[in-house]
Amino acid sequence: MKPHHKLAETITPNGGRLTLHEHDGHFCIRLDGHDLMHSFTAASEVLLGEIAADRFSGSAPAAVLISGLGLGFTLKAVLSKAGPKVAIEVAELMPEVVAWNREFMTSLNGGLLSEPRVQVRVENVVAVLAQAKPSHYDAILLDIDNGPTAMVEKGNGRLYDRIGIQRLHTALKPGGKAAVWSAREDPAFATRLAKGGFTVQVVPAKLYATAKRSTYTIYVATKPSA
């Protein structure tokens, strides 16, 4: 059996131990010893990137915000659909995660960070959205912690409260979509999205492509067209 290698380690703002591991060509990021994301089970991250593809798959200019970076699978899915005039911002709170992608995972998805259409922003997506111009983004894709239930950084809960949802609504163009990854169903979050002016679709997501059952949930919030 091939060994597991710990490649890197850092401490989160909440004091958790975040580690990067490699085993037989697969990569895993763990929080305090528990798997947070794994390259072998990335089907839901890919689906997150594919969901809003109709907003940026053509030749027209478009703006996309992805947060966080993780192992880069959502970014990869977006780039596979994005036209030449699509500008993609990747917001990642942990600079170490960006560095790990560049240093250890170039052969996986890390090399995509050098793509000309991609801009990496090492900052909290809460601040990115607060600074965004109204009606700027065609799509906003959020894969933060466990979704509405924060795990790595408690402050990320601000993304999913009433004010955070209003910021999403303001930052999106009419007809734009926000897709939010969640580790579990969260009916209260869906209700807040609807009260915030969105049309809400609940999309089941599998752990891996051939799984018989869905494990995760993606909330797709569409801003009504003008």
Q: What's residue 54's pLDDT?
A: 73
CATH of the domain at 196: 3.40.50.150
Q: Is residue 24 part of a domain?
A: no
Q: Is residue 1 part of a domain?
A: no
Mean pLDDT of the chain: 92
What percentage of the chain has pLDDT greater than the value 70?
95
Q: What's residue 115's pLDDT?
A: 96
User: Residue 48: which domain range?
Assistant: 41-222
Q: What is the pLDDT of residues 60-78, one digit of tens each?
A: 899 999 999 999 999 999 9
Q: How confident is residue 146, by pLDDT bands cut at 50, 70 and 90?
A: confident
Q: Is residue 13 part of a domain?
A: no
pLDDT of 55 over the 80 cut: no
Q: What's residue 209's pLDDT?
A: 86
Is there a contact between 78 and 56 (Cβ–Cβ < 8 Å)? yes
Q: Is residue 9 part of a domain?
A: no
Q: Is residue 28 part of a domain?
A: no
Q: What's residue 45's pLDDT?
A: 96
Q: What is the tally of structural domains in the chain?
A: 1
Q: How confident is residue 56, by pLDDT bands cut at 50, 70 and 90?
A: confident
Measured N-to-C along each axis, helices 73-81 and 43-51 cross at an angle, to the nearest 10 degrees, of 40
Q: Which of 144, 147, 134 is nearest to 173 (CA)?
A: 134
Q: Is residue 190 part of a domain?
A: yes
Q: Is residue 34 part of a domain?
A: no
Q: Which of 89, 70, 68 is nearest to 79 (CA)?
A: 89
Q: Once rounded to an integer, what is the mean pLDDT over residues 198-211? A: 94
Tokens 């897709």 locate to 179
Q: Is residue 131 part of a domain?
A: yes
Q: Once rounded to an integer, what is the mean pLDDT over residues 122-131? A: 94
Tokens 């500008």 locate to 87
Q: Once rounded to an integer, what is the mean pLDDT over residues 171-175? A: 96
Gap between the Cα atoms of 60 and 44, Å rounded:
27
